[in-house]
Amino acid sequence: MSDLDSFREEIRAWLEENAPPSLRGVDASELDGVWGGTKWKFENPDQKVWLDRCAERGYTAPTWPKAYGGGGLGAAESKVLRQEMGRLRIPPPLIGFGLTMIGPTLLRFGTEEQKQQHLPKICRGEIRWCQGYSEPD
């Protein structure tokens, strides 16, 4: 058995144990995505459980370094995680600009202090980011 096959088995077992039944088989359009932040109101209490469980393992940002709250997974492992979550039709634990825009920018260009201050909070859904645009004359 390859390392990736072993990882897939590990992920399947973890998901079976940790993915809340109320979120399995849910069409993504049926629930609002979890954007995070201190004032976020969870539509379903299991969304909070799911976020916390995934954040504890670094699965909200699976390819980010563990030192910053990520999972430390490689691209192939991250793909397996997405595939197995898709198999259960369970929504991602967290979405938003923190994960898709701010975090990757900080990982590449941020100082160590900025990374330590912001990235773990993004991974845990404790802070919500947005991006503003300006239309010059």
What's the whole-model pTM score? Answer: 0.88
- CATH classification of 3-27+36-123 is 3.40.50.970, yes or no? no
> 7 and 77 in contact (C-beta within 8 Å)?
yes
Q: Give the residue among 85, 96, 104 at the shortest CA–CA distance from 32.
A: 96
pLDDT digits (tens, 9 = 90+) for 31-42: 677 777 777 888
DSSP state of 28: G
pLDDT digits (tens, 9 = 90+) for 41-92: 888 899 999 999 999 999 999 999 999 999 999 999 999 999 999 999 999 9
Delimit the domains of the chain by residue range.
Answer: 3-27+36-123
76, burial (CB in 10 Å: exposed 0-12, middle 13-18, buried 19+) = exposed
